[in-house]
Amino acid sequence: MARHKYYYNPRTLRYELARFPWATWFFRVAGVAIVSVLFFYGLLLLVNRFTETELEHKLRTENRALKNHRGTIEYELNNARAALASLSGKDKEIYQRIFLTPKAEEAEDTGDAQDILQTDLEGFHQVVDRLISQTDVTYAKASLASWNFAQLFWPKKEDVSELQQYPTLIPIQDFKLSQFVCGFGEQLNPFNKLLYHHEGVDLEAELGAPVLAAGDGRVLAAVRQTTPYGEGNYVEIEHINGYRTRYEHLAEISVQRGQRVQQGQVIAQVGMTGEATAPHLHYMVLKNGNPINPVLFFTEQIDERSWIQLAEIGKQVKQALD
């Protein structure tokens, strides 16, 4: 027989059948659960805040060190990028000077730098190990390339006489950068003020200043002209491997056709014969009959920095003197 509970209802002044208070019990249980969860997380926070294991202490120390040294690492990476950019630029300049053609562009890879700055502690050592491995491989390649380059390009004693036959000397005595008036390529014609292809460079000098042979060779032409047109008096010298040099608007000529000349020998004097608006030397370098930029051969008398400045000046559009 089921047992029932009754309670006295003061409103009705009667005993009534008692029902189970589901809502009351639900809120009680929910309240106890919330308090328990808050107590648990509070206790966990206190434990983590005031007590730590040996591993946690080590990890926190490493994280603080990484955070403090991030700025230093980023600074060093930026310095490394700048150094690599400078080396890349010099590499392209050397390549251009040796092979007379621009070096192909290579894709820039900055992924490793971002990996270092963004990786977590677990992957940090892997990134460092990968960089060390790549550095070793790059160093080995550079050493091999340096050895090959030395074997191919380092001059031996028996090569000196051949090297002197290339037109590597600037044909103006005591040359200064300020004497470089007009470069190779698109320049302004001094007579009609229109752009035209300037097939040499204009080097300013005083009337009568000595003109030097840029390299050992044989005089192909020593021409004196009386007309006030064209290139005026000029000398053309044949060098090694299809190279020729041409010296125009000369005053006096000191050599004759068929004569052998040596690098640095005086072959003429600066003048303003032919179509020249001021005393200067119009100097050309030709490879198998095709004009090329003479600045590429200016490897003597000036240092690397001056050569770079000279190349930049040569790119500017100016008015030629002939």
Nearest to 298 by CA among 215, 221, 218, 198: 215
Nearest to 215 by CA among 249, 280, 260: 260
Quote the pLDDT of residue 196: 83
Alpha helices in 100-218 (DSSP H): 111-118, 121-153, 160-163
* Rounded-to-integer distance, Cα 309 and Cα 98, Å: 18
3-class secondary-structure state, position 210: strand
78-131 residue pLDDT tens: 777 777 777 777 777 766 665 555 666 665 555 555 555 555 555 566 666 666
Please, which residues bridge with residue 226 across strands? none
Q: Which residue has the higher pLDDT, 189 or 167?
A: 167
Quote the pLDDT of residue 29: 85
* Rounded-to-integer distance, Cα 274 and Cα 190, Å: 13
* Rounded-to-integer distance, Cα 1 and Cα 188, Å: 122
Quote the pLDDT of residue 197: 85
Quote the pLDDT of residue 190: 80
Quote the pLDDT of residue 149: 62
Quote the pLDDT of residue 113: 53
Compute the mean pLDDT over every residue in the chain, rounded to the nearest whole number.
79
Element (H, E) at 35: helix 22-50
Nearest to 264 by CA among 189, 195, 168: 168
Q: Name the phi and psi angles at 166, rounded to 5.
A: -80, 145
Residue spans of beta strands (DSSP E) within the chain: 6-9, 14-17, 180-182, 185-188, 195-198, 201-204, 210-212, 217-223, 233-238, 243-253, 260-261, 266-270, 280-287, 290-292
Nearest to 116 by CA among 63, 68, 70: 70
Quote the pLDDT of residue 24: 74
Query: Cα 50 to the chain's mean position, in Å?
Result: 53
Nearest to 302 by CA among 126, 115, 172, 111: 172
Cβ(298)–Cβ(180) below 8 Å: no
Residue range 177-315 forms a domain whose CATH class is: mainly beta
Task: Please count the other Cβ atoms lying within 10 Å of the Cβ belonging to residue 196.
Answer: 13
- pLDDT classification of 171: cutoffs 50, 70, 90: very high
State the DSSP code for 102: P
Alpha helices in 157-283 (DSSP H): 160-163
- pLDDT classification of 61: cutoffs 50, 70, 90: confident
Quote the pLDDT of residue 162: 65
Which amino acid, residue 315?
K
For the ranges 67-76, 94-103, 115-124, 201-210, the lowest mean pLDDT is seen at 115-124
> Distances from the Cα of 285 to the Cαs of 47, 170, 308, in angstroms?
83, 11, 19
Is the pLDDT assigned to residue 214 strictly greater than 90?
yes
Is the pLDDT assigned to residue 63 strictly greater than 90?
no
Nearest to 297 by CA among 309, 284, 288, 280: 284
* Rounded-to-integer distance, Cα 111 and Cα 175, Å: 46
State the DSSP code for 189: -
Quote the pLDDT of residue 302: 77
Q: Which residue has the higher pLDDT, 273 or 118?
A: 273
